[in-house]
Amino acid sequence: MRNFRPPIPFLPGNPVQPVTPLPSFSPPPPLHTDTFSCSCDNSSSMAITVSLSLVILVLLFIIFRKRGTEVADLPVVADPPVADLPVVADPPVADLPMVADPPVADLPVVADPPVADLPVVADPPVVPPVLSIIYNSAIIPFEQSECPICLNDFENLEELIQISSCSHVFHRDCMDAYLENGPLVCPCCRVSIF
């Protein structure tokens, strides 16, 4: 059994004062950090939201309908009676100036010129935007020796594509795949192909 000591009474001249034990406190309940906590489930909150929306819509309908009747209640300015308008008669047809069509015989006759007299204009040569070439290093030397798309060297008897506007050369398969997935521009210099 523990020794029980009675508390030391407080004396004004005593430098050592007794320490009284602090009462034990329980921690405060946890604070709700939710900005909106509701004990109701999701379906009832949805029903409340839908109900409030319907009430607002009905009120707006009533307000706009009332405004519409206020506009309809405004006085309408009537047209003046027809009897008060001045009567303007059409001028007689005989007083109108008549413009006659010129006789057909007076018109000059323009004949078609003979076809032999027409100047011959040659169409400019049509350059296809892309040329298909079978590569042979002995016959067709190019400035570039590899395909800029796949970075493989050109081999003899490979089918190549040369873009007419910029003269860049590519493997046919590489260029077909590029044109299917990309824009219609040269992969090297971005000049339009067509």
pLDDT digits (tens, 9 = 90+) for 115-146: 666 677 776 666 567 777 787 777 766 777 88
Under DSSP, is residue 147 helix (H, G, I), strand (E, B) or coil?
coil
CA dihedral 23, 27, 28, 30 (to 10 degrees): 180
If one compares 75 and 120, the residue with the highest pLDDT of the two is 120
Question: pLDDT tens digit string along 106-116?
Answer: 667 777 767 66
Triad 132, 138, 144: Cα angle to 5°? 60
**For the chain, give me the number of helices (H) and strands (E)?**
2, 3
Residue 32 has phi, psi (to 5 degrees) of -80, 120
- Stated pTM of the model: 0.35
- Residue 136: CB partners within 8 Å, gap ≥ 6? 156, 157
